[in-house]
Structure 1
Amino acid sequence: MDNHEYKKNKDELNKANALVNKYLCNFITNKFLQTFYDQDGNVISQNKYASSCGLSSSTLSKLKSSEGYDIPMATIYSICRYERHSLKDLFGEFEKEYGVDIPL
């Protein structure tokens, strides 16, 4: 593979990764971040929810943006832990909705 082909392939992979991140952020937002609840089911502020998850409010704002962002696994885990939702279930639901081969 020459340098031009490598760069083209790398660019395509970066686009695919960005798209997966966008879909994953949107999926998590729709599942958990439309309205924020505490452990007793009471509506709380984004700041309180973020603090309860061990995250910053700005992290949640980035996650909720329509373009998403390069979400760290630790952020996903923190939200799932707070929501008492397994990573296995979250990614299973994500695959069910988006499939395993997201087209560019």
Structure 2
Amino acid sequence: MSWLLLTGAGLLEIVWAVALKQAGGFTRFWPSLIGIVSAIVSFVMLSLALKQLPVGTAYAVWVGIGALGVALAGIVTLGESASPMRLGLLALILIGVIGLKLVEA
């Protein structure tokens, strides 16, 4: 259950980061609200996952899911660079997240 909470928290990190990009420095109401609410829920889910998971592993996985997801969202929806080097480095983040899950399983 803690891994599901952690995964959900990481996915919500993607939501809040993209929403805040769209919020224009908190000048647009709905993206700002979505960003703030999803950030709060993400933190709550992370804190619940931390009851059973090591903090170093949980935090690294949470950040990894968020970083990978936000970078991919930027590539797919915002036209950010998809250079081979960038994709290769993102693959390393994915490998790290999967490796941490396997080590802690």
TM-score by length of 1: 0.34
**Greater Rg, structure 1 or structure 2?**
1
Larger relative helix fraction: 2
TM-score by length of 2: 0.33
